[in-house]
A = this chain, B = another copy of it.
């Protein structure tokens, strides 16, 4: 992963539909060389996948909420992870330092959906305690974060 690979990744993160010729021009390589680098970046997992950023509100998921979870360890940590992995509303689940076990980011249609989701977590006995923060607005949300120079 050299400077050129990083530049290619950044260019693709910005617009994955750019042609190999365009990228090549930006980094000073032929289309074939760029193609070969992208193949390697994808094969090595540095590029996980080509995707689209969707507007969740347009898809009917207007509410983003963060749930701080104090896990009830009787329920089983693996069971919890399996549950959140399988749950379509869970966008992120991080094991975190501090007073809470996990931080979840969930996307739901409305506040009733948030309530139902929390009810589900509670019914499954995953929660010893929890705290929910609703996102009122989002100032920044980018998948790609460039390294600082």
**Interface of A with B (CB < 8 Å)?**
1, 6, 9, 12-17, 44-56, 58-61, 64, 66, 81, 84-85, 88-98, 100, 102-103, 107, 109, 113, 131-148
Contacts and interface: CB of A to CB of B under 8 A. Distances in A.
Given A47-B55, A48-B53, A85-B139, 11 more contacts: A13-B52, A13-B54, A16-B51, A45-B58, A46-B55, A60-B147, A61-B147, A66-B94, A88-B148, A92-B140, A102-B139
Contact of A54 (B46, B61, B134): B46
A50 B50 CA distance: 8
A140 B96 contact: no
Contacts of A137: 94-95
Nearest to A80: B139
Given A46-B58, A59-B147, A135 B95 contact: yes
